[in-house]
Amino acid sequence: MANTTASTVQQLYADIVADLVPYFMDAVLLPNQQIIRNSLVVAGSSGSQVRFPLTNEYTDGVTISEGASISGTAGANSNLTPTAANITFTKRGVASDVTEESLEDGGFDLVRNATLLRLSGGLAQASDVAGLGVANTSFTTNGDTGEESANSTTHSVNFVMSPDAMAYAAKREPVVKMWYNPDTDIHEMRATMRDGYTALRAGFGQRMTANKTIGSAVANVVAIAKGVANLRSQNAPTGLDGTYIGIISPAFEFAINQQIALAGGTTVGSLSDLGNNALRDASIALIAGTRLFRSNNLPDA
């Protein structure tokens, strides 16, 4: 572009408004039905919280003597005692300033795409960090199947979880506002959203601590398999494809690939299809009953 006009600036803003949510959904990990099945969008309603109703665990039936009272027999009562998990909405925001010179020299498409990535990516990262932080403090059942002697400076917390482990709600989906500052000749853009997370069942998620330095993690397939076993022992529901969700760091992913593909060995033997994928693509989609997703937003141990 040789110069900018009011119409080009208006078009830039219109394109960013139209594409912010799609770009955000492509960048964010947690708020999708495959990972968090219980998701709500309550834009336009009143209140700063939403409540997800929960039922208590049922008890097994017991042997009843002939002619005896069913409800009077010890252990036979399985009464419904509903509880709830609340989400309090939190505002998240990111700012990006576009100078008039950037529009003049950079070109419309470059400025549009770069600004969209900054705004949507910033909001997506903030949302994922918040959600994974809730998982870290809430998934306490069965301890940690990862590495021992972990500390916050060298290790991060990875997760294997049921799609019913957490809930997500959005009060304000990503929006952007823009105004022009004539003093600095800058188009100032501010993107915000309001959302929140809560854990529904502490036993439906499993923590797996691992070294976050690539090449140093020793947590491996065994940590995931044990986590899956712990979830199954809690009767944690799986997804529609019969699998749980794993959220792991790049270092944990490398450790798994190294184990399966025998990286570092003097020879590579006959591999399974899983091993072939690890060796060829350096990625694993499904292992030990868990569908894996990679994230750089995992919390410190």
Least Cα distance to 230 among 141, 297, 124 occurs for: 141
Region 142-151: what's the mean pLDDT?
A: 74
Residue 178 placed within a domain = yes
Banded model confidence at residue 273, pLDDT cuts 50, 70, 90: low
Residue 301 placed within a domain = no
How distant, in Å, are the alpha carbons of 99, 110, 158, 187, 285 from that of 181?
10, 21, 44, 6, 48
Residue 269 placed within a domain = yes
Whether residue 131 is predicted with pLDDT greater than 80 in this model: the reply is yes
Contact 254, 292 (CB under 8 A): no
Contact 237, 163 (CB under 8 A): yes
Looking at residue 194, its pLDDT comes to 96
> How many other C-beta atoms can be found within 10 angstroms of the C-beta atom of residue 195?
27
- Output the CA angle 98-102-106, nearest 5 degrees: 130
Residue 72 placed within a domain = no
The string of pLDDT tens digits covering residues 70-94 is: 888 888 888 777 778 899 999 999 9
Looking at residue 230, its pLDDT comes to 92
Residue 23 placed within a domain = yes
Region 57-66: what's the mean pLDDT?
A: 83
Whether residue 288 is predicted with pLDDT greater than 50 in this model: the reply is yes
Whether residue 27 is predicted with pLDDT greater than 60 in this model: the reply is yes
Residue 1 placed within a domain = no
The amino acid at 96: S
Whether residue 3 is predicted with pLDDT greater than 70 in this model: the reply is no
CA separation for the pair 198, 87 (Å, rounded)? 6
Helices 273-281 and 250-261 cross at an angle (nearest 10°) of: 130
Residue 258 placed within a domain = yes
Banded model confidence at residue 150, pLDDT cuts 50, 70, 90: low
Residue 65 placed within a domain = no
Count the domains in the chain.
Answer: 1
CA separation for the pair 124, 117 (Å, rounded)? 10
Q: Which domain holds residue 15?
A: 6-55+85-294
- Output the CA angle 97-102-108, nearest 5 degrees: 100
Least trusted range by pLDDT, from 68-72, 171-175, 278-282: 278-282
Looking at residue 262, its pLDDT comes to 59
The string of pLDDT tens digits covering residues 251-263 is: 998 888 777 765 4
* Local structure of residue 103 (DSSP, 8 states): H
Whether residue 156 is predicted with pLDDT greater than 80 in this model: the reply is yes
CA separation for the pair 248, 205 (Å, rounded)? 13
